Chain A
Amino acid sequence: MTQVSQVPAKRWSQRPASGWIGNWGYGAVALVVLLIPLLPVPELVITQMNYIGIDALVVIGLVLLTGICGLTSFGQAAFVGVGAYATAYVTTALNWSPWAGLCLGLLLTAALALILGVITLRMSGHNLPLATIAWCIALYYVLGNMDALGRYDGLVNIPPVRIFGLSLQNGRHYYYLIWAFAGLAAFGTLRLLDSRSGRILRAMNPDHGGGATMPEAMGASVFRHKLLAFLIAALFASVAGWLFAHLQRTINPSPFGIGRSLDYLFMGVLGGVGYIWGAFVGAAFTTVLRDLLQDWLPKIFGGSGNYETIVFGILLIAVLKISPGGLWSLVSGRFETKRPEIGSPGRDTLPRRTKPQAGERLLDVRGIHKQFGGLAAVQNVSFSLGAGEIVGLIGPNGAGKSTTFNLISGALRLSEGEVVFSGKRVDGVPSRSIARLGLSRTFQHVKLVPEMSVIENVALGCYQRTDSGPLAAIFRTDRREERKALAEAEWQLSRIGLKDVLFEKAGNLSLGAQRLVEIARALATDPVLLLLDEPAAGLRHGEKAALAKVLSQLRQERLGLLLVEHDMNFVMGLADRIVVMEFGRKLIEGTPAVVQASPDVRAAYLGLEAS
């Protein structure tokens, strides 16, 4: 652990891209946005900017949900409506302060989003959009038919917001409130994404090679993180609704219908659904384009109506087909920032688990069985593993080795049998709970987040050893813990020989190196038992030797290791015992010498000799 203190205090995490504008670019844009109301620009510009800021606030939430987490909601306009109607009702009918209206709107929105989320987010991804479509339409008709809410005429005479006795009735003053909220939302989201929870959020998107299996294996609940993203998106929309109500001073149900929800989605996709700043670009571009089209299209087609939807629809399809990163992806390279990497934590390190005594029984697999329809992939397999022991699991392709791995780690449910880990029954226990007991694993098909840096990928492993929540991330009170987590990730990477590629995107590494990153990530969980699925595949000879050395060292640290491996030299040289599987059954178990001498094993690999 002494290496940690050798880390230089500050480094740059990203190299500047060509044509780099960086932090100056953001500063300049922010300055322009702040100066606009002070300049003698026409009132129309201020009005437009106010609506752009409100839209962007909604779209930031949608970016988090859709671009980052791979979920989507067609109900954002309804959450805007909840925020708007909550404040409109209590400020007009009950004479409450707008700030009380904001709080009430947020509470209502949170409750509704939690109900919708809890119901839909456990199921496959398409249920959320369907549920939110339905909820958006249902709410629209409810708003339009409630007498207390003024039916389709809505509510009027909503008071302006006051801050410290100053009324924000003037659009130029209200402008600052809107953009303060939009800016805070953007920075808050960026901070959240650069944190313990944020790494999990970024690892869930099936569009970017993510999914539920890996985060769960790192001890994180994917369901809770989906719920978090959905909740944040809903709350942003609710704040936008509050801003909207006090800007317009009168509201009716029409801006909260399903069509408006689809507009927000359009803004997100057009601006770049993977980028927080894309939300602003999308909102601005859409507003300006809509105005242009509404001026010109009726002159072409005659009459009046929402002809711009044709252009919007074609644009939406074209963006998704040609440039799925949206408009922002065209300039994002120029805006890449230098982010000072977090410095050394000194002697401060993450707590370590007490390691078991050498020879203590870690894993007991008893008669496990897995049935896939008519196929018995694993039948009645039993073996055990102690601390400080390396067991190799070998067998021809399709023998059921990886299925056995998935059964032990909880990624698949057992059909029969039991698994005891560290003295506890873990069959039927979700994989994240098994992971928290100290079992970690790598995957046959590498599961890294390709867009994330190598060190962040490994820091995913520290998830269960840290406990800062999303609020700590937003207020940056998690930095000490983050430093420890990143230092741990760096230490594990240097141990495995990948010190030079810490800030490379994981997707740019060779497959062999990606497998090593997975091992480092598994080690970052501080496991007592490590399951490695083909760790040496894709490595060169020298790299294999280095890996073998690391694994032997882990054995000395009294970890238990279970390896699936096809490289016989590697596994025979390393393992204390070998379990051979064939057609889902255990064929033989013994020391490498016994296994190598067994005629049954030769028959399994090479077929029977003709006699």
Chain B
Amino acid sequence: MDFTVASMLAFEGIANGALYALLAMTIVLVFAVTRVLFIAQGEFVVFGAMSLAQLSLDKLPSTVWLLGVLLAAAILQELFVGIRGRKPNRDLALSISRLAIVPLIVIGVTGVLVPLHPPVGVKALLSLALVAPMGPLLYRLVYRSLATASVLTLLIVSVGVHFVLVGLGLVLFGPEGYRTPAFLETSWDIAGVPVSGQAVLVIGMTVALVGGLYSLFTFTFRGMALRAVAVNELGARIVGLSAERAGEICFTLAAAIGALSGLLIASSTTIYYDTGFLIGLKGFVAAVFAGLASFPGALGGAIAVGLIESFGSFWSSAFKDSIVFAAVIPILLWRSVFFSVAEEH
């Protein structure tokens, strides 16, 4: 392996790592605030990628139906719980309309825009807008009433969510794979290393989002409220911060960032309805580096996963996934030796 090959692999690794970093950070965020190990995170990647792929073919994306199904289920649940709890009709109508307004607008706008052949940027935004509301809907449908459940129960529930989303993905997208055109076709040559515009875009997006999340948590009230809920849910509730609201925000971010990763990855990888699980789990591997607790750690872990993957595929492409996932074991060994005492409390 000479320097050029090594730097090519390193660049590819960092670009992939940047994608995993996006997923790893949302996984850490969701876990910190809601204690949910959200193993269905990868499904949002698929939904984002599929929406853009279908929009690129000027078809109405199937995610419209998915959003509709989730919305209908959430409304039914709201009605059921509301009627059983003898909630006043006014309150019920209000909470349902609060729930439904964003998804309905998104579905409406998509329906109007698709026949007009909008530019690719608009299509990307539409894809994000279609997937992002699925996060809070899922939270309301599944996790909200389980706020006091154990990490283990929430994890197994997430397995159920994963089953449902993958199954629905198969119904809606079929077994075929999709690819999207790259946002940036250009490519530069830096010191003999080809650098694709798309990869630069991925890294740029990641840096921007990391910065955005950092300022959200450091400077805004909402972000600080999320941190407060993450540290101590009961205490946050006592001072008037809603854990439910925090959960909804987290799942919105998870869905939006997942979809964004899907938009960025779909030009270089063929996406099938079940591709997301493995991608999401690589995000988990990165998050394990950070003990599921720190954002900079997750970022570092994600870059490491990307590098392990790209160098691993150079040495033995068949064993690339084995190498990435087997890397968890030494990471956990390292963590158990140096961090296990701290984690007990």
Report whether chain A binds chain B: yes
Give the segment of A34-42, A299-307, A521-529 that binds chain B: A299-307
Contact A265 B156, CB 8 Å, known A133-B284, A134-B328: yes
Q: Is the CB of B326 within 8 A of A126?
A: no
Q: Is the CB of B153 within 8 A of A320?
A: yes
Give the segment of B109-117, B197-205, B227-235, B329-337 that binds chain A: B329-337
Q: Is the CB of A125 within 8 A of B152?
A: yes
Q: Is the CB of B335 within 8 A of A314?
A: no
CB-CB under 8 A from B343, the residues of chain A are 123-124
Q: Is the CB of B164 within 8 A of A313?
A: yes
CB-CB under 8 A from B167, the residues of chain A are 306-313
Residues of B311-339 contacting chain A, CB below 8 A: 318-319, 321-323, 325-329, 332-333, 335-336, 339
CB-CB under 8 A from B329, the residues of chain A are 115-116, 119, 131, 134-135
Asked if B246 lies at the interface with its beta carbon under 8 angstroms from chain A, I say: no
A115 to chain B, nearest CB (A): 8
Contact of A138 among B150, B156, B166, B325 (CB under 8 A): B325
Give bound CA distance, A308 to B166, whole Å. 11
Give bound CA distance, A139 to B272, whole Å. 22
Q: Is the CB of A127 within 8 A of B332?
A: yes
Give bound CA distance, A141 to B324, whole Å. 11
A297 to chain B, nearest CB (A): 9
* Residue among B150, B162, B163, B321 with max Cβ neighbours from chain A (10 Å): B163
Q: Residues of B within 8 Å of A, CB-based: how many?
A: 52
Asked if B236 lies at the interface with its beta carbon under 8 angstroms from chain A, I say: no
Q: Is the CB of A72 within 8 A of B152?
A: yes
Asked if B159 lies at the interface with its beta carbon under 8 angstroms from chain A, I say: yes
Q: Is the CB of B332 within 8 A of A70?
A: no
Chain A-chain B contacts (Cβ-Cβ < 8 Å), number: 155
Residues of B129-156 contacting chain A, CB below 8 A: 142, 145-146, 149-153, 155-156
Q: Contact flags (1/0) for B262-289 with A, using CB distance below 8 Å?
A: 0000000000000001100100110010
Query: Is chain B's binding surface mostly helix, strand, loop or mixed?
Result: helix
Give bound CA distance, A130 to B170, whole Å. 26
Contact of A316 among B157, B319, B339 (CB under 8 A): B157
A429 to chain B, nearest CB (A): 14
Q: Is the CB of B160 within 8 A of A124?
A: no
Asked if A317 lies at the interface with its beta carbon under 8 angstroms from chain B, I say: yes
Q: Is the CB of B344 within 8 A of A124?
A: yes
Residues of A216-250 contacting chain B, CB below 8 A: none
Asked if B168 lies at the interface with its beta carbon under 8 angstroms from chain A, I say: yes
Q: Is the CB of B326 within 8 A of A135?
A: yes
A286 to chain B, nearest CB (A): 12
Q: Contact flags (1/0) for A112-123 with B, using CB distance below 8 Å?
A: 000110011011
Give bound CA distance, A385 to B59, whole Å. 81
Q: Is the CB of A125 within 8 A of B151?
A: yes
Asked if A206 lies at the interface with its beta carbon under 8 angstroms from chain B, I say: yes
Q: Is the CB of B160 within 8 A of A310?
A: no
CB-CB under 8 A from A303, the residues of chain B are 174-175
Asked if B37 lies at the interface with its beta carbon under 8 angstroms from chain A, I say: yes
CB-CB under 8 A from B157, the residues of chain A are 316-317, 320-321
Residues of A277-335 contacting chain B, CB below 8 A: 301, 303, 305-317, 320-321, 324
Give bound CA distance, A315 to B344, whole Å. 34
A383 to chain B, nearest CB (A): 26
Asked if B67 lies at the interface with its beta carbon under 8 angstroms from chain A, I say: no
Contact A207 B150, CB 8 Å, known A123-B336, A123-B340, A265-B159: yes
Q: Is the CB of B318 within 8 A of A307?
A: no
Q: Is the CB of B152 within 8 A of A310?
A: no
Asked if A66 lies at the interface with its beta carbon under 8 angstroms from chain B, I say: yes
Contact of B285 among A71, A119, A134, A321 (CB under 8 A): A134
Asked if B99 lies at the interface with its beta carbon under 8 angstroms from chain A, I say: no
Give bound CA distance, A42 to B87, whole Å. 55
Give bound CA distance, A509 to B343, whole Å. 33
Give bound CA distance, A70 to B166, whole Å. 27
Asked if B122 lies at the interface with its beta carbon under 8 angstroms from chain A, I say: no
CB-CB under 8 A from A306, the residues of chain B are 167, 170
Q: Which residue of B lies closest to A139 (CB)?
A: B322
B294 to chain A, nearest CB (A): 15
A402 to chain B, nearest CB (A): 15
Contact A310 B164, CB 8 Å, known A122-B336, A134-B326, A265-B159: yes
Give bound CA distance, A258 to B145, whole Å. 28
Asked if B195 lies at the interface with its beta carbon under 8 angstroms from chain A, I say: no
Asked if B18 lies at the interface with its beta carbon under 8 angstroms from chain A, I say: no
Give bound CA distance, A212 to B149, whole Å. 19
B308 to chain A, nearest CB (A): 12
Asked if B298 lies at the interface with its beta carbon under 8 angstroms from chain A, I say: no
Q: Which residue of A lies closest to B163 (CB)?
A: A313
CB-CB under 8 A from A122, the residues of chain B are 336, 340
Asked if B161 lies at the interface with its beta carbon under 8 angstroms from chain A, I say: yes
Asked if B292 lies at the interface with its beta carbon under 8 angstroms from chain A, I say: yes
Q: Is the CB of B163 within 8 A of A316?
A: yes
Asked if A168 lies at the interface with its beta carbon under 8 angstroms from chain B, I say: no
Give bound CA distance, A212 to B345, whole Å. 11
Asked if B5 lies at the interface with its beta carbon under 8 angstroms from chain A, I say: no
Give bound CA distance, A306 to B163, whole Å. 10
Give bound CA distance, A130 to B288, whole Å. 8
Q: Is the CB of B335 within 8 A of A317?
A: no
Asked if A92 lies at the interface with its beta carbon under 8 angstroms from chain B, I say: no
Q: Which residue of B lies closest to A262 (CB)?
A: B159
Q: Contact flags (1/0) for A257-283 with B, using CB distance below 8 Å?
A: 010001001100100000000000000
B165 to chain A, nearest CB (A): 8
Q: Is the CB of B150 within 8 A of A309?
A: no
Asked if B208 lies at the interface with its beta carbon under 8 angstroms from chain A, I say: no
Give bound CA distance, A66 to B323, whole Å. 28
B262 to chain A, nearest CB (A): 20
Q: Is the CB of A135 within 8 A of B163?
A: no
Give bound CA distance, A142 to B316, whole Å. 11
Q: Is the CB of A314 within 8 A of B332?
A: no
Q: Is the CB of A126 within 8 A of B292?
A: yes
Asked if A381 lies at the interface with its beta carbon under 8 angstroms from chain B, I say: no
Asked if B57 lies at the interface with its beta carbon under 8 angstroms from chain A, I say: no
Asked if B72 lies at the interface with its beta carbon under 8 angstroms from chain A, I say: no
Q: Is the CB of A137 within 8 A of B281?
A: yes
Q: Is the CB of A138 within 8 A of B322?
A: yes
Contact of B318 among A145, A315, A320 (CB under 8 A): A145
Give bound CA distance, A401 to B162, whole Å. 47
A123 to chain B, nearest CB (A): 5
Q: Is the CB of B171 within 8 A of A307?
A: yes
Q: Is the CB of B159 within 8 A of A309?
A: no
Give bound CA distance, A257 to B165, whole Å. 19
Contact of B152 among A70, A116, A142, A314 (CB under 8 A): A70
11 intermolecular pairs with C-beta atoms under 8 Å apart: A66-B152, A123-B332, A134-B325, A134-B326, A135-B328, A137-B278, A206-B152, A207-B150, A307-B171, A309-B163, A309-B167
Given A265-B156, A309-B170, A315-B160; 11 other pairs, CB 8 A cutoff: A120-B332, A134-B327, A134-B329, A137-B278, A138-B326, A258-B277, A303-B174, A314-B160, A316-B163, A317-B142, A321-B157
Which are the 10 A-B pairs with shortest beta-carbon distances?
A313-B163, A310-B167, A313-B164, A316-B160, A134-B328, A309-B167, A138-B325, A317-B160, A141-B322, A145-B318
